[in-house]
Each structure stands twice: as C-alpha cells, then as structure tokens.
Amino acid sequence: MDSAYLIECAGLLLRWLHLIVGIAWIGASFYFIWLDDSLKEPTDPGLIEKGVGGELWAVHGGGFYNPQKYRAAPQTLPQELHWFKWEAYSTWITGLLLVSTLYYVQAGSYMIAPDKALQNPAAAVGTGIATLVGGWLVYDVLCRLLFKRSPLLFGLVYGAFVIAMAALLDHLLAGRAAFLHIGAMLGTTMVANVFFWIIPGQKKMVDAMRRGERPDPIHGLRGKQRSVHNNYLTLPVLFAMISNHYAFTYNAPHAWLVLALIMIAAVLIRHFFNLRHKGVYVWSYPAAGAAILLATLVWIAPAPLAGTAAGKAPSLLQVRTVFDARCIACHSAHPTLVAAAPNGVRLDSDAAIRAAAPRIYQQVVQLKAMPLGNVTHISDDERDLVARWYRGGAQ
C-alpha cells in the first residue's frame, strides 16, 4: 500500500467518524434547546412539590417519554448522572485529525494559492492553527468583558470579529482553506465552551450539591450564555464545513463577504427557530435570511465566457496539451501535487477525458473551480479552448 492510498483511507474513515459524532453532538444540542423551550408548567401537585418547574410528554419509537426539569435541582442527586460531553470532544478530535490529514499534510495544494498572500506552506499551516487557538482566546475575552451587557451587543462585536477574520484568511490562504478554517475556528470555540466553561461549571454545581450546599447560580448563568452562543454558531459552522464542495462560493471575488453573508443568513434562520420553540413566529427573520442567501447566490453567479466565437472546434489532441500542463499533476495515476487523483477523476487518457467531459466543462469553464486554487496557472485562453472543445461535441 502506498502512502497516497493510506492518506485517502485516513480521510475517508476520519470524515465518516467526524460526521457521525458531529450529528450526535449537534442533534443532542438541538434536542435540548427544543426541550427547554417546549416545557410546560406541571399541574400535578406531587411534581410541583418535588421542585419540577417544567415537563413534557412525547412519544418516540414506540415509547412514551416524560422528561422533567427541576427549577433549581432535585433534593438529592442520583448516583448516576449522564453528562453530555464526549459528543463534542470527539467531534473536535476527529475534525482536527481530518484537517491535518487533508490540509496540513498536503498544504502545498490545499492551503496556498498563487493569487493569495502566503506562498509558504508551513506559514499557511501556522496561520491555520493560530486561527483556531486565537479565535477561541478572542471569543473568551469578549465573553468575559461583555458578560453583563446585552447578548445582541456581544453578537454584533463577535460577528464583526468573525467577518474580519474571514477577510484576513481570504487574503492569506487559498479560498477553500480560508472558509474551512473559519468553520474550524467557530467549531473549536464551541467545543472549548463545553470543555472550559459548561462542563466545569456543571461539575462545581454538582459538587456543591453533594456537599449539601446551595450551588452558586453564576455557574449556571455562564454555562447558559456559552450554550446559547453555541446554538447560534451551529448553522454557520455546518455551512463552512460543506463549503469545500462549492468552489463558486470560496472562489468568488470578495469570497470573505460571501461567507459573511451566508453566515448572517444562517444566524437569522436559527433565530427564527429559537423563537418558534417558544411559540413566537417572526417570519421576517427567515424571510430576510432567505433573501440574503438568494441575493448572494445571484451576485456570485459566474459570468458567461466571452469570446467563444464560431470556428472549428478544437480537437482532443489540442485540449490534452492543456490538461497535461494544468491538470495531471493532480488528476493522473501518479499525481505529484496530491496523494491520489481527486474524486477519482483522471485526465491522463483519451477515454477518461471523454468520459469526464461534462464535469471538466463544469469545473473549468462554468465554475472556474479547477485547477484547484489555480496552482498550475491556467490562462483564460486555455479555458476558452476547453469551452469550445466541449461545445463542439468534446471529440
């Protein structure tokens, strides 16, 4: 087994695992937000006496469930208490391994691009890691400073910071890596919230109760603040994580603004659902979110290629010179820039090129997503040649 194959296998297994544990984490988090907002005051005097402040009846998978939330805490804590933390931790660990395998090990093709400021792969990797750590430190300081201020003020200040980071990374790194690292920065912040604040706060509360003392409510308040922030970050993070499949977003001119607009739309839509759980329907939020999304997609639609005038369509032999120069460093049986031919697309034989013709046209002409980060410096004339070849029947 060669190292290229091993990298591919590691990528597959890590991505799969990352997705599974990520679903478990975000799923549990969505469930608890919904549960909290859907609780009804109990009418049963027995429950009220026990200190239950809210309950809910649900049916799922053939069983009836009746979760109850205590106003403060039960008189005595049961020995066994389930903690929700490994979902978050394992999402972060698999995510870090995945970004290392795909982006840091292959930094020359994934982290840098000729039109971006950083040209040294090691410096690009350093920038990526510094973003994850620095993003958390700035967030944490802002949280402490603005703890007693309005959540909206915090949201605006932190939102401005995230947008500034998007602009900075878009300037320094390949667009694909910039988007992914904004997502990874937010994801790291969410997990650090769980690790440094939410779980330790809960531990302090439980310890106080086991000692027979009243827990200090500040731990609950701080945990709640962080948990609300995590909730608003989920949709933006998930977009950033899938964005690497959509080159027309991260390769657009002013890509940082595209990312910012999509994230703002995501937060507005999330806000609608948070209010809806409480029975308040403010349709202007999702309407504004959808309008921003739509306007962004219309704004970044690639312009049709000019200069594809009539004339004899180029032959396969002619376009192969383009592919040989610009593509096979990645798309061949033995690529030099990446571990293995990406997405199984090989452009080193006539048959393979003909078979991939529609995808080539889409990637090179319509989306301008390939060559990746234009590391191989394809020219507009060459794109034009590929366009005329495809429109002439790709013969």
| Shortest spacing between CB 328 and ligand HEC, in angstroms | 8
User: Which residues make beta-bridge pairs with 54?
Assistant: 69
Cβ nearer to ligand HEC, comparing 116 with 331: 331
Token look-up 């995808």 returns 359
- As measured in angstroms, the least distance from the Cβ of 395 to ligand HEC is 17
Quick one: 120 or 284, whose CB is closer to ligand HEC? Answer: 120
For the chain, give the number of residues: 395
Q: What are phi and psi of 61, to 5 degrees?
A: 55, 35
- The rounded distance, in Å, linking the Cα atoms of 117 and 115 is 7
> Which two structure tokens, joined as six digits, stand for 295?
């306007």
For residue 215, the minimal CB distance to ligand HEC (Å) is 48
Nearest distance from C-beta of residue 304 to ligand HEC, angstroms: 19
Asked if 22 and 220 count as a contact pair (C-beta separation under 8 A), the reply is no
Please tell me whether residue 364 adopts helix, strand or coil conformation. Answer: helix
Minimum distance between the CB of residue 108 and ligand HEC, rounded to whole angstroms? Answer: 8
Cβ closest to ligand HEC, residue 217 vs residue 344? 344
Q: Which is nearer to ligand HEC, 126 or 342 (CB)?
A: 342
Task: Give whichever of 213 and 380 is closer to ligand HEC, judged by the CB atom.
Answer: 380
Shortest distance, CB of residue 388 to ligand HEC, whole angstroms?
15
CA nearest to 252, candidates 344, 115, 95 = 115
Largest separation between any pair of C-alpha atoms in the chain: 88
Cα separation, 34 vs 354, in Å, equals 51
Token pair belonging to 152 = 């909206």
Shortest distance, position 291 Cβ to ligand HEC, whole Å: 28
Nearer to ligand HEC, 227 or 332 (CB): 332
Shorter beta-carbon distance to ligand HEC: residue 52 or 347: 347
Q: Please say whether the beta carbons of 345 and 331 come within 8 A.
A: yes
Residue 291's CB: how many other CB atoms inside 10 A?
13
CB of 119 to ligand HEC, least distance (A): 15
Q: Which long-range contacts (CB under 8 A, 24 or more apart) does 39-44 make?
A: 39/69, 42/68
Q: Which is nearer to ligand HEC, 66 or 321 (CB)?
A: 321
Find the shortest distance in angstroms from Cβ 166 to ligand HEC.
20
b/e per residue, 222-260, with b = 16+ CB within 10 A? Answer: bbebbbebbbbbbbbbbbbbebbeebbbbbbeebbbbbb
Task: Provide DSSP, 290-309.
Answer: HHHHHHHHHHTPPPPPS---
Which residues, including other chains, have CB under 8 Å from residue 277's CB and lie 6 or more apart? Answer: 33, 34, 36, 37, 38
By beta-carbon proximity to ligand HEC, the closer residue of 226 and 320 is 320
CB under 8 Å to 269, separation ≥6 — which residues? 235, 285, 286, 289, 290
Query: Cα 373 to chain center, whole Å?
Result: 20
Q: In whole angstroms, give the CA distance from residue 109 to residue 391.
A: 30
Q: Which residues bind ligand HEC (CB under 6 A)?
A: 109, 244-245, 323, 326-327, 329-331, 337-338, 342-343, 345, 347, 356, 359-360, 363-364, 370-372, 375-376, 378
Cβ proximity to ligand HEC, 206 vs 337, nearer residue: 337
Shortest distance, position 243 Cβ to ligand HEC, whole Å: 10
